[in-house]
Amino acid sequence: MWVFFAFGSALFAGITAVLAKCGIRQTDSTLATAIRTIVVLVFSWFMVFIAGSPEQIFSLDGMTWLFLVLSGLATGASWLCYFKALQMGDINKVVPIDKSSVILTMLLAFFLLGEGISLFGGVGIVLIAVGTFLMIEKKEPASGVVTKRGWLL
């Protein structure tokens, strides 16, 4: 079942990037992040009540609170940087760099959480790094490449 939710996350993240790029064309990226955060906040609490778990908030220990607060701060910093990068750069370059966080996450999980990295996982990390580099490298469009206006060269 986790795979279903993981693919759902990828789907919504892709949609989010395109919607965000459209939404920040005429506003400051910081304001856009704040608006997005309010929507996420309201939606998240709505889901907490739908799931019937608001009383669990009183049973969380101090370390859980600490890690969730730190995670929230990291998320906020990530969103601020992401929206500013989207506002300033091409979505086709910003998103691959953002998604390369997979590499950092896997390495941090290995070093800090003791999670293993298989041979195939290591190869995947290298391929993600190479793929990210290839997507962000500045090059002239080749014949048959779709341009910004959607025209085939």
Q: Which two tokens stand for residue 20?
A: 């965000």
Angle at the Cα of 63 from the Cα atoms of 58 and 66, rounded to 5 degrees: 90
pTM of the model: 0.79
Distance CA 143, CA 149 (A): 15
Distance CA 60, CA 70 (A): 15
Instruction: Give residue 72's pLDDT.
Output: 95
**Both ends of the chain: CA-CA distance in Å?**
43
Between the CA of residue 8 and those of 22, 43, 121, 135, what are the distances in Å?
A: 21, 16, 21, 23
pLDDT at position 104 over 80: yes
Helix, strand, coil percentages for the chain (3-state, nearest 5): 75, 0, 20
Confidence class for position 153, pLDDT limits 50, 70, 90: very low
> Average pLDDT for residues 90-112, to the nearest whole number?
93
Nearest to 77 by CA among 25, 33, 17: 33
Q: Residues of the chain with pLDDT > 70: what percent?
A: 90
